[in-house]
């Protein structure tokens, strides 16, 4: 065994002794290595060390379902591949295909078989083909599986090893401290060959929680991860990861064993020859979310969950006060870590990350304004039995129609401004496909499917979508052109590297601005966004712009005089003011 592999083994044993103190750590370590490197495959000699080379300013992601685009004749994954090649080449380099496995509910997040592709979408060859052209992000729903899948069916029949795969609890226990994102009962009574059991259901009664206190569950998940890597997956999105370890009497969220399991997975992918990134999905307040960076030994990337509600509030209110205040206190990501910046997702705009950031009256006004634009509100049960807003469900394009003042003529510019902000910030920008496509709220889907989240999960008929894209005056074509153009510009600017220096600017509250500087200090960018319907001016002296440099707005092409009195921002105008356009000459030559 290589000396470095001895280090891997020692680190595995240390983690396993924390997760499973009553099991043999050496035996478990051998089983894990056999599960993750089967059939004679071996780890790297050395672990991949934390660095800022895992990503660059060229990185941006598209988030989509495998069947967002349909036509009734072709496989949806074939249509998705066609859409990506037509519109996304050179615009984004990665695509997150939301769960593409067979499932029973929750639009894919109640997985019945992790080793198969949903035949209604396509097959593994389609997934691998997309992965050959785009960095592929895939979901690993660690916390639970479908009640209709083989694992749970085998559990009910008492067949090993699945008879110990699911978390059982006593309904007489005090579970009031458990943190949950749903209002349904936590426990579900089910019949098994061994009698009635009460199984744990954090999310729904069709999504049965796995019991990670059984190491066989972890081993099986590691085998699945290895298979997905071999199929071309390069970023693993650990969905619902915060809930995977249960201890009655606690909150059952973010427990030490949960973090240790994430550290174990990170350790393994650091030893893979394939470059694999871990992305954790934890829709919780900031400090809890940031804890999944660990000490550069857990997730490579975390979702920047406060961004969606704060950007929406800024656009509605015409003030970046709370967005500025929050951003100014955000720590830079550690070496080897990055934020994933987004404004919309397949779920909704989470309200928990706004806790402690937006005052209650501002949060309530934001919700009321979004409801005027057609948004729905999903609730969660609090420990005292009351309910609180968990997320806003809406098309973000529609949500931007209305401000605290009401509707106006700035809808398009306001929306583009909202999407430019995540392009400007430290981290990697990610865009939900329906934001790229200016998709309106699908209220018919809500009525038909009986779920709020369906409002932002529209399925486009591909011929109709192509017709819209060919119409230069359509919302779809206009938004696609604007966002694609800005992302192409961004990809050439080293000042927008995900780990480039960032400083939050103190400006007029109607402006949200950051200063970015490339890692080699060659390029500076002042990324400033007017979130109001008013014309705002700023002095170059406020920005400390160096007068000897030649400054230009990358978005408008306008030359900016650093000695002038003011720089003018039209309503919702964004400017990327830089002293250089592109990387340093030596970098160009390389």
The single residue of 239, 270, 413, 442 carrying the catalytic annotation is 239
Annotated binding residue 300: no
Burial of 455 (0-12, 13-18, 19+ CB in 10 A): buried
pLDDT, tens digit, for every residue of 43-75? 999 999 999 999 999 999 999 999 999 999 999
Query: What is the rounded average pLDDT of the residues 396-421?
Result: 98
Annotated binding residue 144: yes
Annotated binding residue 187: no
CATH number at residue 158: 3.90.400.10
Structural domain ending residue among the three candidates 496, 520, 549 = 496
Q: Which residues contact 157 (CB under 8 A, 6 or more apart)?
A: 192, 193
| Strand-pair partners of 233 | 136
Q: Are residues 286 and 431 in the same domain?
A: yes
- Whole domain around residue 390: which residue ranges? 61-101+111-140+220-496
Annotated binding residue 346: yes
Q: Are residues 407 and 554 in the same domain?
A: no
Q: Are residues 424 and 511 in the same domain?
A: no
| CA–CA separation, 531 and 507 (whole Å) | 12
Least confident of 44-53, 151-160, 205-214, 256-265: 44-53
pLDDT over 70 percentage in the chain? 98
Q: Are residues 309 and 453 in the same domain?
A: yes
Q: Are residues 360 and 348 in the same domain?
A: yes
For 68, phi and psi rounded to 5 degrees?
-65, -30
Q: Are residues 255 and 169 in the same domain?
A: no
Please check whether residue 51 lies inside any domain of the structure: no
What pLDDT sits at residue 588?
55
What pLDDT sits at residue 589?
44
Structural domain ending residue among the three candidates 164, 188, 209 = 209
Q: Are residues 136 and 149 in the same domain?
A: no
Total domain count, the chain:
3
pLDDT, tens digit, for every residue of 13-49? 999 999 999 999 999 999 999 999 998 789 999 999 9
Please check whether residue 587 lies inside any domain of the structure: no
Q: Are residues 134 and 179 in the same domain?
A: no
Q: Evaluate whether 395 touches 439 at the Cβ level (below 8 Å).
A: yes
Annotated binding residue 237: yes
Token pair listed for 259: 């973090």
DSSP H/E element including 312? helix 307-317
Tell whether the model's pLDDT for residue 4 goes beyond 70. Answer: no
Annotated binding residue 347: yes
Q: Where are the beta strands (DSSP E) in 219-284?
A: 233-239, 277-280
Q: How high does pLDDT run on average in the chain?
A: 95
Q: What angle do the packed helices 76-83 and 462-470 form, to 10 degrees?
A: 10
| CA–CA separation, 377 and 151 (whole Å) | 34
What pLDDT sits at residue 590?
43
Q: Where are the beta strands (DSSP E) in 297-385?
A: 301-303, 338-341, 349-350, 376-381
| C-alpha radius of gyration, the chain, whole number | 24
Tell whether the model's pLDDT for residue 1 goes beyond 60. Answer: no
DSSP H/E element including 411? helix 411-424
Please check whether residue 590 lies inside any domain of the structure: no
Q: What DSSP string runs through 172-186?
A: TS--TT---S--S-S
Annotated binding residue 475: no
Nearest Cα neighbor of 186 from 215, 163, 157, 209 is 209
Q: What is the sign of the dihedral through the CA atoms of 28, 34, 36 and 41? A: positive
CATH number at residue 527: 2.60.40.1180
Q: Are residues 527 and 484 in the same domain?
A: no
What pLDDT sits at residue 39?
83
What pLDDT sits at residue 352?
86
Please check whether residue 16 lies inside any domain of the structure: no
Highest-scoring range by mean pLDDT, 2-11, 357-366, 381-390: 357-366
Structural domain ending residue among the three candidates 469, 496, 523 = 496
| CA–CA separation, 181 and 376 (whole Å) | 16
With H, G, I as helix, E, B as strand and everything else as coil, classify residue 499. coil
- Residue 239 is a catalytic residue: yes
Token pair listed for 191: 């019949």
With H, G, I as helix, E, B as strand and everything else as coil, classify residue 123. coil
């Amino acid at each position: 065994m290589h000396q470095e592999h001895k280090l891997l083994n020692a680190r595995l044993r240390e983690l396993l002794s924390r997760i499973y103190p009553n099991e043999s750590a050496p035996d478990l370590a051998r089983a894990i290595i056999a599960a993750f490197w089967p059939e004679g495959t071996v780890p790297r000699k050395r672990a991949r060390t934390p660095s800022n080379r895992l990503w660059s300013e060229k990185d941006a992601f598209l988030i989509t379902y495998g069947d967002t685009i349909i036509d009734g004749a072709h496989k949806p994954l074939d249509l998705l591949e066609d859409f990506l090649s037509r519109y996304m080449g050179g615009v984004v380099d990665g695509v997150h295909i939301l769960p593409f496995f067979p499932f029973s509910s929750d639009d894919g997040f109640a997985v019945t078989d992790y080793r198969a592709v949903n035949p209604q979408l396509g097959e593994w060859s389609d997934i691998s083909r997309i992965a050959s052209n785009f960095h592929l992000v895939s979901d690993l729903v660690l916390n639970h599986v479908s009640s209709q899948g083989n694992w749970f069916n085998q559990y009910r029949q008492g067949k090993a090893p699945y008879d110990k795969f699911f978390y059982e609890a006593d309904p007489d226990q005090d579970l009031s401290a458990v943190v949950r994102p749903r209002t349904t009962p936590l426990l579900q009574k089910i019949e098994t060959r061994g009698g009635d059991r009460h199984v744990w259901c954090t999310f729904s009664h069709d999504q049965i929680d796995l019991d990670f206190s059984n190491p066989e569950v972890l081993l099986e998940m590691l085998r699945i991860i290895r298979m997905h890597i071999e199929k071309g997956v390069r970023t693993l999105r650990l969905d619902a990861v915060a809930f995977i370890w249960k201890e009655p009497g606690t909150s059952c969220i973010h427990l030490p064993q949960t973090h240790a399991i994430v550290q174990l997975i990170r350790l393994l992918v650091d030893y893979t020859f394939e470059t694999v990134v871990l992305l954790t999905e934890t829709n919780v307040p900031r400090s809890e979310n940031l804890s999944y960076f660990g000490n550069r030994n857990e997730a490579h990337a975390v979702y920047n969950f406060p961004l969606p509600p704060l950007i929406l509030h800024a656009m509605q209110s015409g003030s970046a006060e709370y967005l500025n205040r929050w951003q100014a206190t955000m720590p830079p990501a550690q070496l080897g870590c990055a934020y994933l910046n987004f404004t919309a997702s397949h779920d909704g705009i989470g309200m928990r990350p706004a806790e402690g950031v937006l005052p209650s009256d501002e949060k309530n006004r934001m919700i009321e304004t979004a409801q005027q634009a057609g948004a729905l509100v999903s609730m969660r049960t609090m420990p005292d039995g009351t309910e609180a807003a968990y997320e806003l469900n809406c098309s973000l394009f529609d949500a931007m129609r209305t401000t605290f003042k009401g509707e106006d003529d700035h809808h398009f510019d306001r929306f583009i401004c909202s999407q430019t902000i995540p392009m400007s910030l430290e981290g990697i920008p990610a865009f939900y496909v329906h934001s790229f496509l200016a998709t309106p709220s699908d209220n018919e889907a809500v009525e038909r499917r009986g779920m709020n989240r369906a409002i932002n999960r529209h399925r486009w008929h591909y011929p109709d979508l192509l017709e819209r894209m060919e119409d230069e005056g359509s919302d779809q074509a206009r938004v696609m052109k604007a966002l694609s153009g800005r992302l192409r510009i961004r990809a050439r600017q080293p000042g927008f590297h995900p780990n480039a220096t960032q400083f939050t600017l103190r400006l007029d509250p109607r402006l949200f601005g950051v200063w970015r500087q490339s890692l080699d200090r060659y390029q500076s960018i002042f990324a400033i966004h007017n979130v109001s319907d008013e014309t705002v001016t700023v002095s170059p002296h406020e920005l400390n712009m160096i007068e000897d440099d030649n400054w230009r707005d990358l978005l408008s092409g306008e030359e900016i005089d650093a000695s002038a009195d003011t720089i003018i921002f039209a309503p919702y105008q964004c400017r990327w003011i830089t002293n250089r356009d592109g990387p340093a000459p030596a970098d160009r030559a390389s």
